[in-house]
Structure 1
Amino acid sequence: MVALSLAAPLSATMVLPVAEWRELQHNGQIVLGGRFVQYSGINRTFIARIFGDGSLDFGFNPAPNDWVQSLAVEPDDRILVGGLFTDVNGVGRHGIARLNTNGSLDLIFDPGAGCVGSLTNDATQVRSIALQQFGRVLAGGVFTSYDNQLRDNIVRFFDGAAFFQNLSARAHVFTGERILIAGLIIEGTENKAVLIRGLGPTLASFGVPAPLANPTLSLYDHTGALIAANDNWKATQQTQIQATGLAPPNDFEAAILISLPPGAYTAFLQGKAMTTGIGLSEVYDVGPNVNAQPTNLSARAFVGTGGDVLIGGTIIGGNAASLQRVLVRALGPSLAGAGIATPLANPTLSLRDANGNVIANNDNWKDSQQADIAATGKAPSNDLESAVLALLAPGNYTAIVAGKNATTGVALVEFYSLP
């Protein structure tokens, strides 16, 4: 048994040293918080991190000046800490703070005046922290204000967590099952405002050969019911779309601005009058402050060779220090079960940053990260399909899906936001 040494008691009543809170990080390490000043004979004031075998992580040594009563590990493994303290590592933090993964104080997370005041004789303190969806945090305890705003004993605030801000997919748009289909899943409790764009003519200015001359958009809900459609974006909603600052550059391009309740949706991009060419489908989050977020973004299209591969893209928003855990998948063979006649037999996947630098390549998902991908519960169902699990900072990313040995067929690229 590992010994915890007693912190100086705050009253004449003797209390036992105790770790009041324990949180598990993704790498299996355990963060302990409570009223102690040593762990296994080694000085650690009120917080410590240990390995799975119980040994101390010597590199993790924050220094709050009073008891830690609550902990919450965020998806990127940063740690929210609540308690009776008024500073951490010598920096003022009243009752609540956030630590980087190495134990240093996260200065980007700034609660201002923090939690202060008390309606009782109890000392000001944060006794519990709960993570909610989409970067919201609940804190409860003994206080009368948070950052000088009146809040009696409970408050909710934003933590600046990373989130999906945009999805894009570029592919050669044909007809039938070879059109470009973008999908998104919205989770939460409120409606989410999104702008969906279908571009074609604009791509010529970026050197794209044979762009789709006149794209059309059709938006469907999870039942397959058509809920909105557009040919030329100025035909409807012109004023509202312009107000977003994201109006398509060309009058022949399509756009739909809509508020969607939580659920699954698909947007079909195809050429007017059965025309073909390279098109770009985009989904923008234009309502970031509601309690709802896209948690899955996908695109299905025909994968050819050369410039006719499927290119999926996403923009991750959030503060500069935040990280989003993302699973990217490239599916082909499993699409046959959904009735696709010509699925891509062996997709390959290349995840790249905004500068085109390769973050990771994958052919068959079991070749690397097998255990980690399986643990997400979202592993591809076919061994020939591809997947990459990555921790991504805010920025722009692309996922290029091609056929191994220049094979062709219909493929699906997906981005999953993971806790």
Structure 2
Amino acid sequence: MKTLRITFLLVLFAAFSSTAYAQRIAVKGDTVYTSAGNPIVKGVVLVKDGKIERVGTQSSVRIPSGYEVMEAKVVTPGFIDVHSVVGLAGHMSQPHDQDQLETSSAIQPELRAIDAYNAREELVGHLRRLGVTTVHTGHGPGALMSGQTMIVKTTGETVEEAVVTPSKMIAFTMGSMISGAINKPGTRSKGVAMIRQELVKAQAYAEKRKNGDSYTKNIRMEALADLLDGKLTAMVTVHKANDIMTALRLQKEFDFPMVLDGAADAHLILDEIKDAGVTVFVHPTMIRPSRDAQNASMETAGMLHRAGIPFGFQSGYEPYVPKTRVVLFEAGVAVANGLDRSAAMEILTIEAAKILDIEERVGSLEKGKDADIVLFNGDPFEYTSNVTGVIINGKVQTN
């Protein structure tokens, strides 16, 4: 009898779990931006078992019985933040919730964001409520090599539930932005020399690893060898034109994949950046222009787009409360300062997904992709518009 009772409870729990996680939803919008073609007027998106089942016009797509219907003025894919420290840098801005920068050493590429990420951090929910459903986050600027980054969804109670890509990039910093809390190099050339020396060590380590030679495993060298093998990417936070050129020379010398992060002076050397074939995580549009970033401009995004340089919007790192920006607002300001509106929508969604190599899962409203959807009561790029609903992995988010 006891065995039968336990079996019954397990079956009941399984049935409840299946019902709880298998929401069937029809999202209707006056305008549906799919990021996979032209916007659909009077469109509908069907969601089943966490994935997008079908997208089309309301006149051509029949909504099956049993689907929960949600309506909005505007429907978009979930937005993607290509660089943040959210989940490591917390909203309280106190030592106990600030894990984005370890100050015991200037070079620590072995540190993993997945070991510090807090899925329940209030700032994660803040971004989710404003339509940001995927974030590339992790260790922030301030050290020559501060650690690794990861890609997560802004949902879930644990990092295991949130993670999309557990290790994606290694965060570098060049220029004068090394934290004063670190025993830092005194000059730019010293900092680059320290980076170069570690990469030379990593070359020898990677060669031994590749050839199967005897070697002692070293987690720092493992991370840098993965960089040199193209398994990880260098995310180099740099602003001044001369520092950007140094980063490009270093990348050419060691032949590793790289993105430029920040790049306030990018508009001064557009041709050089384009010729190098690198992507830019453009500085937040409303960044405070000071120190290395004194030439930051609200027009940079528009100039990068017109030059044909791929880029993504980021919230970046803020040393002050509330510790994160919102890429939707940054994109809205870019649109007001010369960036094409339709391009801005794609850069927030499918282009960001391509940059992060996750376009097979997210970035557009297409059949088979994760059902990450945002509902608005007006134009997403207008501050007077509000998010009225967020769906991540096919589940309506309630907070």
TM-score normalised per structure 1: 0.25
Tell me which of the two structures has the higher relative contact order, counting C-alpha pairs closer than 8 angstroms and 6 or more residues apart.
Answer: 2
Q: Structure 1 or 2: larger strand share? A: 1
TM-score w.r.t. length of structure 2: 0.26
Structure with greater helix percent = 2
Larger radius of gyration: 1
